[in-house]
Chains A and B, each alone.
Chain A
Amino acid sequence: MSRDEPSGPDLVGVIADANSAGLKHVVIGGFSVIFHGYVRATRDSDLLVPDGEEADETILRFLELADGRRLSDDKKVTMDDIADAEHLRVNSRRGIIDIIRGGSPPLDFDTVFDRADTTEWEGQMVKVAALPSVVGFKRLARRPQDRVDLEELEAIHGDLPEEPIPGLDS
């Protein structure tokens, strides 16, 4: 699929490319909300990725496989761009992909990765953020869509698991 023909997020393809590149990741964002029961449309695939040089190299490999270019200026992403970035938004043959570094505990990569739900989908293993992590990300982001997501998840699961988020609850 060409990057110039918007086709919506292809999460199966994103995961396939991430696995091929050896990129450790957890699915967060809209698809994690969908996974936990609120099925809605989303514009992009969001991946939480670790920090560090090794991770940066795999991110670059992943972007090459996915034919990803920075969304803001269509620039081919370099190692320097990746090393400096907390967040990369790219357009790719798999649709728009948001690549986000882990934050402070409990939203750091290791915690989110260790507690993630793992499932097999389309012949590959997928790691999706567990409900407490999803709630944490949503509480932190506070966009209108995040509020709707939390309301819907609460309607499905009852009281949501809330953990103290640095900068938000302290």
Chain B
Amino acid sequence: MHGIRRHRAENGSSPSSIRRESLYPAELSGLSLNRRSSSGSLPIHALIRLGAYHEGMAVSRKPLLGPGNEGKWAKINRADAEQLRAFNMALTPTQRLELGQKLSQQAVSLLAASVKAGNVPRRALWS
């Protein structure tokens, strides 16, 4: 069973510091070992055992950057793309040209730096 759900089942409560772990890892990182959680309901070492807390970060049972998350990624990518399109269409055509020009100049500048550093063959600049 997932750490949070198991904790709820065992304790019959859902301390806010645990419930929101994935959204607010910074809140959890303020806690330290050998202290009790801010709600006072469960010692930190117990949270670590449950997989609900890791020093400095929240631990997910199924990391997003892992296999089996194609559906989640498709949803995230779709939302990103829609957001980007909405942003672009909110600009006037000349604002888009301005942004496109700036973006292109930054891209070439970064590529030139990479060529200079020897990461990319020089022909990449002119291909």
Contacts and interface: CB of A to CB of B under 8 A. Distances in A.
Interface of A: 5-12, 30-31, 34-43, 71, 91, 95-96, 117, 119-121, 126, 128, 152, 155-156
A128 B93 contact: yes
Interface of B: 81, 85, 88-89, 91, 93-94, 96-101, 103-109, 111-112, 125-126
Interface residues of A, dominant DSSP: mixed
A40 B101 contact: no
A12 B98 CA distance: 9
B14 to A, nearest CB: 40
B119 to A, nearest CB: 15
Given A91-B126, A96-B126, A38 B94 contact: no
A11 B105 CA distance: 10
B96 to A, nearest CB: 5
Given A8-B101, A41-B106, 19 more contacts: A6-B109, A7-B108, A7-B109, A8-B107, A9-B108, A11-B101, A31-B100, A34-B99, A35-B97, A35-B100, A36-B93, A39-B88, A39-B96, A39-B100, A41-B103, A43-B104, A119-B93, A120-B94, A121-B98
